[in-house]
């Protein structure tokens, strides 16, 4: 994927400040004078005004933004930044923005924290993860009517996706930088930062800037204005990450509650809240819990034989259950994910005395489908499921409806992007969903 595939925000009514002027054939950079204390206060007032308007107009976002104290930063901060504790900003950058753009920047940093991007990177490459986090937030804010600064990438192709879904879709060679600095995770875990035992040029430049800031810190303390700007904070420690993740989950829930009380929580943010506030339980655990409700031995109160006496006592009644499993083969589910799913179902089946009917379907049933496995058979994955076309769920339900007896439960493994039957069947349906698509009926378990 080339850089040209990425659209950037453009507005004819908003013009960037002139940064250079041409004198003859020489290009001379325009040096701006240092900001005074009064100018810094005016810039902070712009931020405060934008936050106040968000509280009144968009209380959910406004309450999240208020959780980050405003901190004017030194030259290390090129635009804006957050360490999940504060909102750092370059005063000259904020001064160049209008009110709409300032709101965008404030919300952008708050959402990094509220969506706990600082705690979800895992073993992923930092630079690519930072891009994925930005790509997840920016199109959402544009769709909600917020205006980003000029030339900030929008990445509309990632709209409605979370960072984990976007990450593998980003070209490793994409020459793009995040729009802000993610200070909570300033250490990369890949080898790209090192070259022949040395430092990359950008890392060397950062190190020089930090050294210069440290050398001039004592001199700056004697002056006013920009001398009061904050230095770059350290990265978060593991215990801080855990504590802040818990705190931001609470902030997200309380902000949503306040917005609901004000009647101002709808659109994409309402969906986002439902997604991120759902219990963080593995799909394997949820599947096992759900399946156990069907396999649990029940008590029978039928009249016993005369040799048992006159009393009617409950006794355990055991029976085998019939499970239908449908797999979406339209191409959106990877082979690795299907293998994991089949392995998990086989482990559960061993404890449930269940027979399995395995059905593969994209827009129609696979020509070799279905496959039948009795309770004593090992659930084995077929050599080929076929598929690769569009998604239509109706053929699976049509197949089950013409059988002599319906299944006890249907488990459908899919991304939920397809054609559903108009009415729910008379047997339970459980959807294991990869992605964020809703379902019209049945029980939904989030796969990823």
In this structure, the answer to whether residues 233 and 174 fall within a common structural domain is yes
In this structure, the answer to whether residues 359 and 377 fall within a common structural domain is yes
- The pTM for the full model equals 0.57
In this structure, the answer to whether residues 88 and 197 fall within a common structural domain is yes
CATH of residue 398's domain is 3.40.50
In this structure, the answer to whether residues 241 and 296 fall within a common structural domain is no
Alpha helices in 181-230 (DSSP H): 201-220
Contacts of 115 (CB under 8 A, 6+ apart): 133, 136, 137, 162, 163, 252, 272, 276
Residue 366 lies in a domain: yes
In this structure, the answer to whether residues 263 and 361 fall within a common structural domain is no
Contacts of 353 (CB under 8 A, 6+ apart): 295, 318, 320, 321, 375
Residue 141 lies in a domain: yes
> How far, in Å, are 114, 212, 322, 365, 370 from residue 400 at the CA level?
43, 72, 12, 12, 11
Give me the tens of pLDDT residue by residue for the chain, a chain 448 residues long: 444 444 545 554 544 444 444 444 454 455 556 788 899 999 999 999 999 999 999 888 999 999 999 999 999 999 999 999 999 999 999 999 999 999 999 999 999 999 899 998 888 999 999 999 999 999 889 888 899 887 777 777 888 788 888 888 888 888 888 889 988 776 544 443 333 334 444 444 554 555 555 444 434 433 445 667 889 998 888 889 989 988 998 888 888 888 777 777 766 777 677 666 665 555 666 666 666 666 545 444 555 555 555 555 554 444 678 889 898 887 766 777 777 777 777 776 766 777 888 888 888 888 777 888 887 777 676 666 655 567 899 999 999 999 888 888 898 988 888 899 999 999 989 888 887 788 899 888 776 6
Positive or negative CA dihedral for 100, 103, 108, 111? negative
Give the model's pLDDT for residue 283: 61
In this structure, the answer to whether residues 251 and 298 fall within a common structural domain is no
Residue 146 lies in a domain: yes
> How many structural domains comprise the chain?
2
Give the model's pLDDT for residue 154: 75
In this structure, the answer to whether residues 243 and 337 fall within a common structural domain is no
Residue 182 lies in a domain: yes
Give the model's pLDDT for residue 191: 40
- Please tell me the distance from the alpha carbon of residue 239 to that of residue 244, in angstroms, as a whole number: 9
Contact 418, 330 (CB under 8 A): yes
- Please tell me the distance from the alpha carbon of residue 175 to that of residue 177, in angstroms, as a whole number: 7
Residue 440 lies in a domain: yes
| Residue 90 structural domain | 3-17+30-277
In this structure, the answer to whether residues 130 and 200 fall within a common structural domain is yes
In this structure, the answer to whether residues 117 and 45 fall within a common structural domain is yes
Contact 16, 97 (CB under 8 A): no
Residue 22 lies in a domain: no
In this structure, the answer to whether residues 34 and 52 fall within a common structural domain is yes
Residue 24 lies in a domain: no
């Amino acid at each position: 994927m080339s850089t040209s595939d990425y659209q950037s925000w453009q507005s004819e009514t908003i013009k960037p400040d002139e940064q250079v002027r041409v004198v003859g054939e020489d290009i001379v950079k325009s040096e701006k004078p240092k900001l005074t204390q009064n100018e810094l206060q005016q810039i902070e007032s712009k931020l405060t005004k934008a936050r106040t308007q968000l509280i009144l107009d968009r209380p959910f976002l406004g309450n999240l933004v208020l959780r980050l104290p405003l901190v004017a930063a030194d030259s290390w901060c090129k635009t804006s930044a957050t360490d999940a504790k504060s909102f750092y900003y370059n005063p000259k950058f904020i001064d160049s923005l209008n009110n709409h753009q300032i709101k965008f920047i404030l919300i952008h940093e708050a959402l990094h924290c509220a969506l706990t991007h600082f705690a979800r990177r895992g073993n992923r490459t930092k630079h690519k993860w930072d891009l994925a986090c930005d790509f997840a937030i920016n199109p959402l804010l544009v769709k909600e009517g917020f205006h980003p600064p000029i030339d900030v990438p929008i990445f509309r192709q990632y709209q409605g996706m979370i960072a984990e879904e976007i990450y593998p879709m980003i070209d490793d060679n994409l020459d793009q930088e995040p729009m802000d600095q993610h200070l909570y995770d300033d250490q990369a875990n890949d080898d790209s930062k090192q070259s022949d035992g040395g430092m990359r040029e950008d890392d060397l430049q950062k190190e020089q800037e930090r050294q210069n800031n440290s050398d001039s810190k004592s001199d700056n303390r004697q002056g006013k204005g920009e001398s009061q700007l904050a230095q770059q904070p350290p990265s978060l420690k593991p215990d801080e990450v855990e504590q802040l993740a818990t705190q931001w989950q609470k902030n997200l829930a309380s902000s949503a509650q306040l917005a609901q009380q004000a009647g101002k929580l709808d659109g994409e943010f309402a969906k986002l809240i439902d997604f991120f506030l759902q219990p963080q339980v593995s799909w394997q655990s949820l599947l096992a819990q759900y399946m156990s409700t069907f396999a649990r031995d029940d008590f029978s109160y039928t009249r016993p034989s005369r040799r048992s006496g006159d009393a009617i006592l409950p006794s355990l009644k055991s029976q085998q259950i019939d499970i239908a499993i449908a797999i979406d083969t339209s191409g959106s589910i990877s082979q690795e994910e299907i293998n994991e799913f089949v392995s998990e179902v086989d482990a559960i089946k061993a404890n449930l005395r269940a027979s399995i009917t395995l059905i593969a379907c994209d827009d129609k049933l696979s020509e070799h489908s279905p496959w039948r496995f009795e309770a004593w058979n090992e659930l084995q994955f077929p050599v080929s499921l076929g598929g690769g076309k569009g998604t239509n769920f109706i053929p699976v339900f049509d197949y089950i409806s013409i059988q002599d007896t319906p299944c006890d439960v249907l488990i459908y493994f899919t991304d939920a992007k397809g054609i559903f039957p108009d009415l729910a069947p008379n047997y339970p349906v459980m959807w294991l969903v990869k992605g964020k698509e809703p379902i019209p009926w049945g029980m939904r378990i989030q796969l990823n």
